[in-house]
Amino acid sequence: MISTEHTDRLAAITVFGEFTLADYKEFEELVNYKIQFNGALDLLFDLREMAGFTLDVAWEEIKFSRQHAHDFRRIAVLTEDQWLTWSAWVSQLFVDAEVRVFSDESEARSWLAAGEASEAVP
């Protein structure tokens, strides 16, 4: 199951339990909509409560990342799991976005907000 929140420039996704293909499709719909109407987007992935993911989610993530390689500015991943940290690093190979891993949500949100503020300065 996932929970989402979003603003014009940010999509925040929290995963609870197993991350399924249906959950990923919900995430894709939100992101595609935001990109279509607002342009490049920041992402916050909170994976601290994720119990695992299905193989089809991993495959879908690779396809989605390649399709949207230039559509993200910054991606913050919240996790304390070393495997997910490594996975976030590998994801950088598929997107132009700056990707960082955090264990503290306020630090992640501050980093994303700082990126948005620096874009606003002429």
Name 111's Cβ contacts closer than 8 Å, sequence gap at least 6. Answer: 74, 76, 100, 102
3-class secondary structure, 10 = strand
pLDDT in tens, 38-58: 999 999 999 999 998 888 988
State if pTM tops 0.75: yes
Q: How much is the pLDDT for 115?
A: 82
pLDDT in tens, 75-108: 999 988 877 665 665 566 568 888 888 999 999 9
List domains and CATH numbers for the chain: 2-107 (3.40.50.10600)
Residue with tokens 């960082």: 100
pLDDT at 12 over 80: yes
CA terminus-to-terminus distance, the chain: 40
Count Cα neighbours of 1 within 13 Å in the Cβ-side half-sphere.
3
d(CA 8, CA 6): 7
Tally of CB atoms within 10 A around 15: 25
* Tokens (6 digits) for 25: 């499709």
Residue with tokens 């293909």: 21
Q: How much is the pLDDT for 61?
A: 86
